[in-house]
Amino acid sequence: MKRALPLYAAFAYLFLHVPLAILAIFSVNASRFTIWDGFSLRWYRAMFADRDLLESAANSLIIAVAATVLATVIGTLAAYALWKKASPWLAGSLYLSLVTPEIVTGISLLAFFQWIFRYLHLRLGMHTVILAHVSFSIAYVVLVVMARLRSFDVALEEAALDLGETEFGAFYRVTLPYLAPAIAAAALLAFTVSIDDYVITSLVAGVDSRTLPMVIYAMARRGVNPVLNAVSTVVVAGLGGLILISERLRKA
Amino acid sequence: MTSTPANRLRAFFLTPVATVMLATLGVPLAIVTAYSFLSRGPYGGVEMPWTEENYTRLFDPLYAGIFLRSAWVALLATAGCLVLAFPLALFIARSGARKNLYLALVILPFWTSFLIRLYAWMFLLRDTGLINTAFISLGLIHAPLPLLYNEGAVLLGLIYGYLPFAVLPLYATLERQDPVLLDAAADLGATPWRALFRVTIPLSMPGILAASILVFVPCIGTYIVSDLLGGSKTVLIGNLVQNQFTSSRDWPFGAAASIVLIVAAIAMLLLMRRSREELL
Amino acid sequence: MNRRRFLEHIAQTTALPTAISLAGCSSAPRLNVYNWSDYIAPDTVANFERESGLRIRYGTYESNQEMLAQLLGGNSGWDVVFPSADYIGPLRDLGLLAPIRHELLTNLDSLDAEFRTPPWDPALQWSVPYMYGATGILYQKQLVPAPQSWADLWNPAWSGKVTMLDDAAEVFGACLKKLGYSLNSGDPSELRAAAEEAGKQKPLLRAYLNAEVRDQAVAGDVAAAQAWAVTAAQAIAAAPERLAFVYPREGFVRFADNMAILRESRRVEAAHRWIDYLLRPPVAATIVETTRTATCNGAAYALLPESVRKDPVLYPAADVLKRGEWLEPQSKGSQRLRDRLWTQMKSS
């Protein structure tokens, strides 16, 4: 067993990473087919020339940042309040948002927006996508922050109260700093979930708010496209770099 | 409830999340439920009269078959994920100082786009994809293997996509286990394999249950994997629901199927509650 | 630190994302065009933008149903769409279309005579024909015997290498033709028989693909496919020595895609300018040459080189064309039955 385990782990990691590595390798293949034809950056050039693609990437980033900030704030406050005293309805609704299949969430939000837009004269756009993303991200944030809260000694807060702090002050100056790593982790999780979402976004995005996953899906449906290889390499490298940086920051 | 400062703070903190949840979960689900009892408009949308026809139609063996098939595929994917994830989680939990690095390496693909990972498999599995091209050029086979556009490809896509979801809870449980127990087992004469099956795995049940649910629930509602890797031939519940809102233009029927899906998901949720693994 | 300061903090952190999302609302004057994929030349949009000073947002779709699903809400955000002929009637009945103002279109007469008064919109009140086509069989030349009829796509020898379009009207159309009925049949017994045929074919199929089949045919993954003539022409242009196209013996679907303006559009004049631009013969001719489509624009057709005009895939001989049938919108009851049979067939 001592030897079997690391061997198995090696294969498992290969299984996880090789497909992405292959995409990266073929993203610099001059030929558009699976035969190696020489090194070339033409697919990266094509990628940067695609206005639609770049615009959708920008949209994705904007939406992810906005949704992350909102979800993290709302979720952290919610987690704290729920930790102090449980609320079965709210906890239940958060559970529900986690376990509801994405297609159902998307369709229900679409139905809701279409119904409400008859009275509000709005249309689908960045705001609907951000709202949708905030909605499904909150549960993840609450999950992560709650986990950290469980190991928090409430006596510390009580001590602060004894020393004259308000309820809010105790939260802000004692608990919140303790939660900082969890909040950072939750934000990272919310960001990833938002930037990668396809199903829900595709249903509630309007004309002006196409996101990167939507463009990728449209391209993937039409078959193998080396530009997509280039996109995937950039995305993996980008997000991977983000992870490494955040790990470094965490340790510093 | 008395209006103490603590309670006021709590109410204040809970207002945003309650508003968001009500607006984006409560009301939408109410609307979908209403739709599920209406009739279909000629080209989509809903109209009067009220009817329970959509639900009774779901009892047709055809659709019951889809639910069962989706559950079966999800079950297979879950089993596959568990089998593949457990040894990996075990390895990470026992790897000492390098734990975080190995964990990060598992999570890294998860951070990248799910669609891209599916696309990677399309690239590999197609008749003129990398795997077939490599095998043919090596002389191992003469005609391309049909690796794509079947249920096997869908299963592969699901397992690959959700493997990290299984690894994390398993790792969390395994990491907390006291190594002393394994020493005790060894002292009593158990081989490492025996200890695995008699001690480690039973102790990991909460993690196994959590991992199962975290994989099963998304799998049962999936439609992209069956679209991209299944060639629109494999219809799972996710596809059925999505089709009703696009090509088949039967929103009420799609709504009814959605409600049934949610009910199934809630049933899973209640099952998780019983495992005493408190997440929220 | 008190609660008010905290509130200010929160407001500051959330103000930015909220502002960002609202900023998306105020954008430059744009025309939103929603078209089929690969239905326009690479520089058409850029040229139009340069000439008119308008900005175009150009989105694409793969099927009429996809397009319709977006429009049903009544405020999709699109201005110009390109529905197929059999969708014009339904869109009009749903109140989704804005009337076409002929006085704003100077190039309307460059349309081919047949398309100046098409059966689905004789006075061109709601639509302006754009490109037409038909559905046939795209196949690898090395296939023996070469497919000549829809029935050939049920050949078990080709199991796993055949695709059909992911469209109920097309698949059932092929099945109806195979059985000798009309494409537009609303007869329940005929439709059920057609659905049964489709069900029998499903296990033999590789996948249901629309325009996505083009790249797969070129790569050699697909032996025979039910494909639109446009897709086929594009595929053959990419691999002429390997691919061929045939109009099935039993008959086939003829369709035409039209330009239409949505009633919800607030840029009706700009939309008309875009349509007028696409009607310009040189512009239409360029599009045809780059995308291999069959244009409804007679004046543009005259500008095309002989080799393109005589292309049997896009412009088949008259006796071939006679076997084709235009797709017509179905009655409510017939549409319901077709949709239901489609769901059943796909789910089995």
Kindly report the nearest CA distance between residue C150 and chain B, in angstroms. 20
What CA–CA distance (Å, rounded) separates A111 from B31? 7
Contacts of C220 in chain B (CB under 8 A): 127-128
Q: Which residues pair with C245 in a beta bridge?
A: C138
Cα separations (Å) of A17 from A4, A21, B143? 20, 6, 27
The residue assigned the tokens 């993840």 is: A140
Over chain C, what HEC string results?
CCHHHHHHHHHHHHHHHHHHHHHCCCCCCEEEEEEECCCCCCCHHHHHHHHHCCEEEEEEECCHHHHHHHHCCCCCCCCEECCEHHHHHHHHHCCCEECCCHHHCCCHHHCCHHHHCCCCCCCCCCCEEEEEEEEEEEEECCCCCCCCCHHHHHCHHHCCCEEECCCHHHHHHHHHHHCCCCCCCCCHHHHHHHHHHHHHHHHHEEEECCCCHHHHHHHCCCCEEEEEHHHHHHHHHHCCCCEEEECCCCCEEEEEEEEEEECCCCCHHHHHHHHHHHHCHHHHHHHHHHHCCEECCHHHHHHCCHHHHCCCCCCCCHHHHCCEEECCCCCHHHHHHHHHHHHHHHHC
Kindly report the nearest CA distance between residue B236 and chain C, in angstroms. 8
Q: What is the pLDDT of residues A73-113, one digit of tens each?
A: 999 999 999 998 888 888 889 988 887 888 888 889 988 98
CB atoms closer than 10 angstroms to residue B112: 23
CB C303 within 8 A of CB C134: no
What CA–CA distance (Å, rounded) separates A97 from B55? 23
Domain A54-251, CATH number (from 1.10.10.10, 1.10.3720.10, 3.60.20.10, 3.30.70.600): 1.10.3720.10
Is C77 within 8 Å of A124 when comparing Cβ atoms?
A: yes
Contacts of C336 in chain B (CB under 8 A): 40, 42
Two structure tokens written together for B39: 């009739």
User: What is the overall mean pLDDT for chain A?
Assistant: 86
User: What is the overall mean pLDDT for chain B?
Assistant: 84
Chains that touch A (3 or more CB pairs under 8 A): B, C
SS3 content of chain B, % helix, strand, coil (to 5): 75, 0, 25
Q: What is the pLDDT of residues B213-243, one digit of tens each?
A: 888 888 888 888 888 888 777 788 888 888 8
Q: Is B87 on the interface with C (CB under 8 A)?
A: no
Reported as type and span, the H/E element at residue B39 is strand B39-40
* Coil, strand or helix at B42: strand
What CA–CA distance (Å, rounded) separates A68 from A192? 9
What CA–CA distance (Å, rounded) separates A71 from A63? 12
Q: CB neighbours of A225 closer than 8 A, spacing ≥ 6? A: A32, A219, C215
B130-134, B199-203, B274-278, C55-59: least confidently modelled range? B274-278
CB atoms closer than 10 angstroms to residue A176: 14
What is the pLDDT, as a whole number, of residue C15?
Answer: 62
Position B82 pLDDT exceeds 90:
yes
Q: Is B44 on the interface with C (CB under 8 A)?
A: yes
**Nearest residue of A to residue C23, measured between CA atoms:** A126
Q: CB neighbours of C294 closer than 8 A, spacing ≥ 6? A: C131, C132, C133, C229, C230, C288, C314, C315
Would you give the end-to-end CA distance of chain A in angstroms? 36
Q: Domain for residue B24, yes or no?
A: no
Q: Which of A1, A3, A16, A145 to mutate to test the interface with B (most CBs of B within 10 A)?
A: A16
What is the pLDDT, as a whole number, of residue C4?
Answer: 65
* Coil, strand or helix at B47: strand
Widest pairwise Cα distance in chain A:
73
CB B164 within 8 A of CB B112: no
Cα separations (Å) of C2 from A167, A169, C5, C81? 10, 6, 6, 55
What CA–CA distance (Å, rounded) separates C240 from C255? 25
The residue assigned the tokens 């896009």 is: C314
CB C256 within 8 A of CB C121: no
Q: Is B258 on the interface with C (CB under 8 A)?
A: no
Contacts of B121 in chain A (CB under 8 A): 19
The residue assigned the tokens 């994830």 is: B85
What CA–CA distance (Å, rounded) separates B226 from A117? 32
Is B262 within 8 Å of A104 when comparing Cβ atoms?
A: yes
Question: pLDDT category, B72, cuts 50, 70, 90?
Answer: very high
Is C1 within 8 Å of A73 when comparing Cβ atoms?
A: no
What CA–CA distance (Å, rounded) separates B71 from B55? 19
What CA–CA distance (Å, rounded) separates A211 from A223? 19
Q: Domain for residue B20, yes or no?
A: no
What CA–CA distance (Å, rounded) separates A94 from A31? 48
Position A31 pLDDT exceeds 60:
yes
What CA–CA distance (Å, rounded) separates A193 from A173? 30
CB B210 within 8 A of CB B169: yes
Q: Domain for residue B48, yes or no?
A: no
Q: Domain for residue B21, yes or no?
A: no
Q: What is the pLDDT of residues A109-159, one digit of tens each?
A: 988 988 888 888 788 889 999 999 999 999 989 988 888 888 888 888 888
Would you give the end-to-end CA distance of chain B in angstroms? 23
Q: What is the pLDDT of residues C239-267, one digit of tens each?
A: 889 999 999 999 999 999 999 999 989 89
User: CA-based angle A189:B269:A194, to the nearest 5?
Assistant: 20
The dihedrals phi and psi of A43, each to the nearest 5 degrees, come to -70, -30
Regions of chain C short of the pLDDT cut 70: 1-28
CB B134 within 8 A of CB B76: no
What is the pLDDT, as a whole number, of residue C16?
Answer: 58
Handedness of CA B202, B204, B205, B211 (dihedral sign): negative
What is the pLDDT, as a whole number, of residue C18?
Answer: 56
- CB-nearest to B63 from C163, C209, C347 is C347
What is the pLDDT, as a whole number, of residue B280?
Answer: 45
What is the pLDDT, as a whole number, of residue C25?
Answer: 42
What is the pLDDT, as a whole number, of residue C1?
Answer: 47
Kindly report the nearest CA distance between residue A204 and chain B, in angstroms. 12
Count Cβ neighbours within 10 Å for each residue of A151-163 and write b for 16 or more, e otherwise. Answer: ebeeeebeebbee
Contacts of C10 in chain A (CB under 8 A): 73
Q: In this predicted complex, what is the ipTM?
A: 0.81
- CB-nearest to C73 from A114, A130, A208 is A114
Over B155-171, what HEC string results?
HHHHHHHHHHHHHHHHH
- CB-nearest to A81 from B10, B31, B217 is B10
Q: CB neighbours of A115 closer than 8 A, spacing ≥ 6? A: B31
The dihedrals phi and psi of C246, each to the nearest 5 degrees, come to -140, 145
What is the pLDDT, as a whole number, of residue C7?
Answer: 65
Two structure tokens written together for C16: 């930015």
What is the pLDDT, as a whole number, of residue C26?
Answer: 41
Within 13 Å, how many C-alpha atoms sit on residue B89's CB side? 27
What CA–CA distance (Å, rounded) separates C246 from C139? 8
What is the pLDDT, as a whole number, of residue A252?
Answer: 54
Kindly report the nearest CA distance between residue B39 and chain A, in angstroms. 15
What is the pLDDT, as a whole number, of residue A242?
Answer: 75
- pTM of the entire predicted model: 0.84
What is the pLDDT, as a whole number, of residue B200?
Answer: 86
Query: What CATH number is attached to the domain comprising B92?
Result: 1.10.3720.10
Instruction: Give the helix ranges, DSSP H, for B188-236.
Output: 192-195, 201-203, 205-220, 224-228
Is C24 within 8 Å of A70 when comparing Cβ atoms?
A: no
The dihedrals phi and psi of B141, each to the nearest 5 degrees, come to -135, 165
Is A207 within 8 Å of C17 when comparing Cβ atoms?
A: no
SS3 content of chain A, % helix, strand, coil (to 5): 80, 0, 20
Q: What is the pLDDT of residues B128-185, one digit of tens each?
A: 778 888 888 888 877 777 788 888 899 999 999 889 888 888 888 888 788 888 888 8
What CA–CA distance (Å, rounded) separates C112 from C131? 11
Domain locations in chain A as residue ranges: 54-251
Chains that touch C (3 or more CB pairs under 8 A): A, B
Kindly report the nearest CA distance between residue C300 and chain A, in angstroms. 29
Is C6 within 8 Å of A52 when comparing Cβ atoms?
A: no
Q: Domain for residue B42, yes or no?
A: no
Question: pLDDT category, A61, cuts 50, 70, 90?
Answer: very high
CB atoms closer than 10 angstroms to residue A33: 15
Highest mean pLDDT among A231-240, B9-18, C62-71: B9-18
Beta carbon pairs, A and B, within 8 Å: 250
Kindly report the nearest CA distance between residue C291 and chain B, in angstroms. 25
The H helix count followed by the E strand count for chain A is 12, 0
Q: Which of B7, B17, B31 to mutate to test the interface with A (most CBs of A within 10 A)?
A: B17
Q: Domain for residue B193, yes or no?
A: yes
Q: Which of A33, A30, A56 is nearest to A43 (CA)?
A: A30
The number of residues making up chain A comes to: 252
Contacts of A165 in chain C (CB under 8 A): none
Question: pLDDT category, A196, cuts 50, 70, 90?
Answer: confident
Cα separations (Å) of B191 from B83, B93, B198, B199, B202? 21, 19, 10, 11, 16
Contacts of B8 in chain A (CB under 8 A): 167
Kindly report the nearest CA distance between residue B10 and chain A, in angstroms. 5
